[in-house]
Amino acid sequence: MRRRTKWLIGLAVALAVAPPLVVGGLLLYAVKQSGKTAPRSVACEKAMEAIGWELPPGADDGSCTERADTLFPSQWTGTFRMPRAEVAAWLDARPKERYSSHKYGTESLDGPEGSLHARLTYPDSPNFGNGDIDAVTIDFTADGPDHAVVAFHTYPG
């Protein structure tokens, strides 16, 4: 075989083998890095914005985090306090077209030990604040006669 032919065959083999090796290496790296990202503190306003919501008026004592991942969408968690009297109105203000279903627990915030649980699931919608979020769970727990502690967690779709 001629030297030029051997060189062309070597180049063709290299071009056929190199791209899958590079892509496979990058994929392996991404899988190994997945889940290693530590949660980082973020403002609760930013977390609510990522969900497509607004922080309720009168909310305070917020502590929210984002867990970013190389393969999966960010997950958002947090807690804050809000006036108990505004909980139902804030929950009902979630735009109906943005979620396919919502289920409230049978509990209520009435009484000193009151609590309320909701899970909101979202269809794929370009109108939603972050299309990568599939569901949000929200727990409300009475914190004295006038306030409730709100804890939320998002689940990627």
Instruction: Encode pLDDT of 45-65 as tens digits.
Output: 999 888 878 898 889 989 999
Bridge partners, residue 141, by sequence: 115, 149
Residue 78 has a CB neighbour count (10 Å cut-off) of 23
What pLDDT score was predicted for residue 127?
A: 43
Instruction: Check pLDDT > 80 for residue 75.
Output: yes
What pLDDT score was predicted for residue 45?
A: 92
The predicted model scores a pTM of 0.67
Phi (first) and psi of residue 63, to 5 degrees: -145, 105
What pLDDT score was predicted for residue 106?
A: 45
Residues near 128 by beta carbon (within 8 Å), at least 6 away in sequence: 52, 98, 122
Instruction: Check pLDDT > 80 for residue 39.
Output: yes
d(CA 14, CA 88): 64
**% of the chain exceeding 70 in pLDDT:** 71
